[in-house]
Amino acid sequence: QHAKLHLQNGELFIEDLGTTAGIFIDGMGVRGRLGVSPGQTIQVGDRWLALQATTSVQAKEGEVLARRYRLIRPIGRGGRGEVWLARDEELNEEIALKRLPPEMANDAVAISDLKREVQKSRHLSHNNIIRIHDLVQPPGEPAFVTLEFIDGQDLATMRLAQSGQCFNWETLRPLMTQLCDALEYAHQNKIVHRDLKPANMMVDSGGNLKLADFGIAASMADSLSRSSMQGSVSGTTLYMSPQQMRGEIPRASDDLYALGSTFYELLTSRPPFSSGDVTYQVLNVEAKPLAKRLSELGLQNQVPDAVCAMIMACLAKDPAHRPASAAAVEEWISNSDEPALPPIAPLDPLPPITPSTFGNAPSAAPPPPVPTRTDAAPPLLESSQPTVHEKFAAAGWASIEARDNPWYQGFIAVVAILSLLLVIGLKDAPKDKIVSGVIIILIFWFGLSAIGKILFKPKRFTCSQCSGKLRNDQPGPCPYCGASLT
């Protein structure tokens, strides 16, 4: 036995019985006994438990809510409520109806927050965003949200049906282009999703992607977190950014991180961090390159190196190093026509890009083209496909290359030899002199090492574009060729 669930006075608790790896709730390692609530996911060893809520009033097929919405059949159930296919008898059309979990039913603050999110999101009108109609609060009945109904499957379910449980890039690319277009539109309207993941992306029979739950899922997660005293972090741990994990103010860059996590899972079968203390890993551990993850899982999925680089850029811990916007990601993947490379080696990450700022008004215009450098070298062959490094150069980007400084290495070698000679010289010294001698040698070693770092610097930095020598490894424009350095 690794853990034990307790039901006490209507509340559920989980107790750690001394597991080696511990228990993880929503990706966060915990010890001892802790209360859990619907909507949370528990990991004990290799076993996962997803807690689902049951409504206090069970809905039935054919039941009419608010004298208008007739329930047809359930189409989804989870910790954040249940979703029904229903018919709006006033408009004579099918809709999706999301019933709220019981924790929110009598929470005035939660209902108020959700109503505000619905009012913001209902004005979104985009071909790739599921329309939110209204938050309905009928007297004496549980509140619910009405939405556009999409007859299709979510990407999480579709992924499981693919060979190796991951999409190939050519199949996924048109869907991800639509996703980026929807995200850019929402961000231009100053709305952040905050719970981007494959399960919130529907694909209809015509191959059109529809992004669901704008603001709704995150608001409900906030309320459930408050009710379970888990803090104010909203979203799904496996996909959220370090900043969102820390409860910082939502920004478009959080959605871009989740976009990278979504790409990563759909192309490798797993999110960047999917087991163990996910919270710690998101905050402190760099995600493995896609090629390495595919190799570890024994999967053969050829993904263009430019796409791999863009995904890793989205997963940067620092928002300033993520793509500038969803439009920038869309522009990049739309032009990733280079031949796919087999997953054999890690790829370089993209350079830092200034974080996105929200626009003042929605715009249906296509994203601006990536600026090109007029002095970029022409391709060797007209028909050759550019590599990811050539694309970086064309966009005015370059990497900072670090190499060991031979002068510093030589200096340290001399210091090491001198220190060794001094140690040898102590062999005939009296015992009471040896301790003080060792201390003096250590001071000598550390002192000269510090002087060497000042005089020679351990590393030499150069621009990968022009090989110009740089003073440090700080991102910024190259003083020789003007490329944006990362």
From 376, 393, 410, the end of a domain falls on 376
Among the listed residues 26, 107, 113, 195, the single catalytic one is: 195
Q: For each of the chain's 486 residues, which pLDDT tens digit applies?
A: 677 787 776 677 777 776 666 677 765 666 667 677 665 677 776 676 766 555 545 678 999 999 999 999 999 875 567 899 999 999 999 999 998 877 676 678 888 888 888 888 888 899 999 999 999 988 888 889 999 999 999 999 999 999 999 999 999 999 999 999 999 999 999 889 888 999 999 999 999 999 988 767 555 555 444 444 344 445 578 899 999 989 898 899 999 999 999 999 999 999 999 887 888 899 999 999 999 999 999 999 999 989 999 999 999 999 999 999 999 999 988 876 654 444 433 334 434 433 333 333 333 334 444 333 333 333 333 334 444 444 444 445 666 777 788 888 888 888 889 888 888 888 778 877 788 888 888 888 888 888 888 887 888 888 776 777 887 777 777 777 777 666
AA identity, residue 328 = A
Give the CATH number, domain containing residue 37: 2.60.200.20
- The Cα 343–Cα 300 span in angstroms is 7
- The Cα 372–Cα 390 span in angstroms is 11
278 lies in the same domain as 369: yes
Q: Tell which residue, 202, 217, 247, 7, has the closest CA to residue 101.
A: 217
338 lies in the same domain as 413: no
Q: Tell which residue, 138, 62, 132, has the closest CA to residue 97.
A: 132
162 lies in the same domain as 274: yes
Is 386 part of any domain? no
pLDDT of residue 217: 54
- The Cα 401–Cα 460 span in angstroms is 8
Query: Exposed (0-12), middle (13-18) or buried (19+): which is 404, by Cβ within 10 Å?
Result: exposed
23 lies in the same domain as 161: no
76 lies in the same domain as 197: no
Is 302 part of any domain? yes
Is 408 part of any domain? yes
- Please confirm, yes or no, whether 16 is among the known catalytic residues: no
Is 448 part of any domain? yes
357 lies in the same domain as 294: yes
CB 445 within 8 A of CB 419: yes
pLDDT of residue 220: 52
Is 327 part of any domain? yes
Give the CATH number, domain containing residue 162: 1.10.510.10
From 376, 391, 425, the end of a domain falls on 376
- The Cα 316–Cα 164 span in angstroms is 27
- The Cα 349–Cα 305 span in angstroms is 10
315 lies in the same domain as 183: yes
Tens of pLDDT, residues 109-134 = 888 888 888 888 888 899 999 999 99
Q: Which long-range contacts (CB under 8 A, 24 or more apart) does 62-67 make?
A: 64/89, 65/97, 65/136, 65/138, 65/141, 65/144, 66/136, 66/138, 66/141, 67/138
pLDDT of residue 58: 67
Is 27 part of any domain? yes
Query: What's the total number of domains in the chain?
Result: 4
277 lies in the same domain as 168: yes
Q: Tell which residue, 174, 176, 185, has the closest CA to residue 125.
A: 185
Query: Exposed (0-12), middle (13-18) or buried (19+): which is 278, by Cβ within 10 Å?
Result: buried
pLDDT of residue 432: 75
pLDDT of residue 368: 41
pLDDT of residue 66: 93
pLDDT of residue 435: 80
From 376, 391, 422, the end of a domain falls on 376
170 lies in the same domain as 258: yes
81 lies in the same domain as 192: no
Pairing of strands 209-211, 201-204: antiparallel
325 lies in the same domain as 462: no
pLDDT of residue 365: 39
pLDDT of residue 231: 40
453 lies in the same domain as 417: yes
- State the residue range of the domain holding 26: 3-50
